[in-house]
Amino acid sequence: MKIYYFITCLLLLSMQSVIAQDYSMYGEEGVFMYTQPNAKAEAMGGGMATTYGSPFSATYNPAASSLVTGLNIEASHFNPYLIGDNRPHYEAYGISYNTQKYGAIAFNASHYSEGSEMQRTIRDSSGYGYKTLYTYTPNQTLYTFNYSYNYNDFCIGVNLDYYENQFFQKNNSTFFVDLGMLKKLDFSSNKNKQSVLFGISLTNISKTKLEMKTDAVAQSGKSEYSLGKYSIPSFLRAGASYEFQTGAKVADLNLFKMTYSINYRNVVNLDNTYALQLGSEFSFFEILQLRIGYLWDKSSQNLTESYSDKYSDLTYGAGILFPISRLYNIKYPIEFHLDYSLISDFAQSGSFNLNPKNILSGSLKIGI
């Protein structure tokens, strides 16, 4: 298996080296760059290339879904304020199922909206004023279909992504492909469980570009025109994580578990854009999880004047697990997780208004 691990890493690295640096950030930042699909990811520095436990794991590494057991359903909501606000918001929904024998499948849908309506106007018949043709809300949606397989703790996975970007009344869309790999090393003993994960993934290996079209003004005599083709961002993610769980139990609940992760992220088709992401999670009696992380981000384009080209900050959050099956003596293992994270907003887009962001995620796990 070592040779497969080496070949996969080499293949992904060689793919990223030939991807042209031609990403220009044409409105895709909301769904790709500055939001995470769940609160756990945000709280752990935004990096989950080598952590698992959620249908959204496939977003960071397509191979990670093979380590998620049973049936999992998750939903996430992101907003400067949790309710009653029309500012930019982000929702994500995911479902995964691991057959063990034939691999794992997952489906995720992420939707980002600018929140506020915009107007499409043209000059009126007088030639001096303007009239409103219609109003619209810019938004983007990303659908991810995932398959992964685990062979002796060597995991490989692939995503087929479908991306939509609504610009004026035109819904521009395209497909692209992601690949990922994980290797798990188990050091468990009779007293405790220990494991190390190494992972690497590359999104948009197909080097897909999206043609942005818009409706033409009435005077042009055309129904639409093209603004050109723009590359979908291609992320190289690589990292490692360490997990320790004590064998001690209280009322059939594991006493303590901790996880540390380190991730490197690079937008390979955008020059000089990379990040270092550190994360940690501490779980007590399986019920309470406390998380803290650190994000160091280097970006080269689209920065607001109030920020330099480097950004760093602590991230944090918490989670609560409800062991439903153990509380109500249900045959099949059923758990519900509720996770929350509050982080400062450094998203390099004026539409975010530079306010703190609330992320709330809920997930249901059924052991079937």
Tell how strand 274-284 and strand 288-298 pair up. antiparallel
pLDDT at 139: 83
Residues 6+ positions from 130 with CB-CB distance below 8 Å: 121, 122, 123, 124
pLDDT at 72: 92
pLDDT at 349: 37
pLDDT at 218: 47
Task: Give the mean model confidence (pLDDT) for residues 141-147.
Answer: 95
Would residue 159 be called left, alpha or beta, if left means φ above 0 and alpha means ψ between -120 and 50 degrees?
Answer: beta
Q: In residues, how long is the chain?
A: 368
What class has domain 2-366?
A: mainly beta
Nearest partner of 12 among 185, 229, 183, judged by Cα = 183
* Beta strand spans in 3-124 (E): 71-79, 89-98, 104-113, 118-123
Whether the CB-CB separation of 32 and 233 falls below 8 Å is answered with yes
Distances (CA, A) of 351 to 88, 116, 243: 7, 9, 38
> Does residue 21 carry a pLDDT above 80?
no
In degrees and rounded to multiples of 5, residue 300 shows phi and psi of -115, -10
In degrees and rounded to multiples of 5, residue 18 shows phi and psi of -100, 0
Residues 71-124 have pLDDT tens digits of 999 998 877 554 545 567 788 899 999 998 899 999 999 988 877 677 666 666
DSSP, residue by residue, 220-283: GT-SEEEEEEEEPP-EEEEEEEEEEEES-EETTEE-EEEEEEEEEEEETTSTT-EEEEEEEEEE
Whether the CB-CB separation of 177 and 161 falls below 8 Å is answered with yes
Amino acid at 361: S
- Can you tell me the distance from the alpha carbon of 262 to that of 175, in angstroms, rounded to the nearest whole number? 30
Residues 243-289 have pLDDT tens digits of 999 988 887 788 999 999 999 998 888 777 788 999 999 999 989 99
Q: For all residues of the chain together, what is the average pLDDT?
A: 78
- Can you tell me the distance from the alpha carbon of 60 to that of 94, in angstroms, rounded to the nearest whole number? 13
> Where exactly are the structural domains of the chain?
2-366
> Does residue 322 carry a pLDDT above 80?
yes
Task: Give the mean model confidence (pLDDT) for residues 182-201.
Answer: 91
Q: Which residue has the higher pLDDT, 161 or 219?
A: 161
Q: Could you give the percent of the chain with pLDDT greater than 90?
A: 30
352: DSSP letter: G
Task: Enter the tokens of residue 301.
Answer: 């384009």
Task: Give the mean model confidence (pLDDT) for residues 180-196.
Answer: 91
